[in-house]
Amino acid sequence: MPVDNPKSVRALVVDDDPDIREFVSDLLESAGCEVRSAADGGQALIEARKFRPDIVYLDIRIPEQFGWLVCAKLKLIDPSPTVVLMTGLVCDELDDFSNFVKADDVLRKPFSAEDVLAFIPGVPV
């Protein structure tokens, strides 16, 4: 994601847990990002088409469509956004699945503010 100014970063946060969605959204907004959010896979795909995010923070376990499927669909629509999968899952195949759906990275829960902001260029962590 070739962006030098965090104010120009458009971020989509997708998680069915309103506390996590709000935490990540508030962090990104405080860093100067333009943020939209969604609570499920269907909403995520609609928002992504309308909003055209630079980065997507995407929970793996969300209603309607698992994050894996949403990630694959997002990358088919437009391969340019960075997709960071968020998960509390612990499994040996996590990296293999992430690579298969073309996710750019995995953010393991619980995560810190610094972990979230590390994906935004120009934001000191």
For tokens 């508030």, name the residue: 26
CA pair distance 47, 37, nearest whole angstrom: 8
Q: Check whether 59 has a pLDDT greater than 60.
A: yes
- Identify which has the larger pLDDT, 93 or 30: 30
Task: Pick from 24-28, 84-88, 102-106 the range whose average pLDDT is largest.
Answer: 24-28
Per residue in 62-99, pLDDT (tens digit) is: 998 899 999 999 999 999 999 999 998 777 777 777 88
Can you identify the CATH homologous superfamily of domain 6-117?
Response regulator (3.40.50.2300)
Those residues whose C-beta lies under 8 Å from the C-beta of residue 10, and which sit 6 or more positions away, are 33, 34, 35, 36, 51, 52, 53, 54, 55
Domain spans in the chain, listed from the N-terminal domain onward? 6-117
| Across 57-64, average pLDDT | 94
Does 7 score more than 80 pLDDT?
no
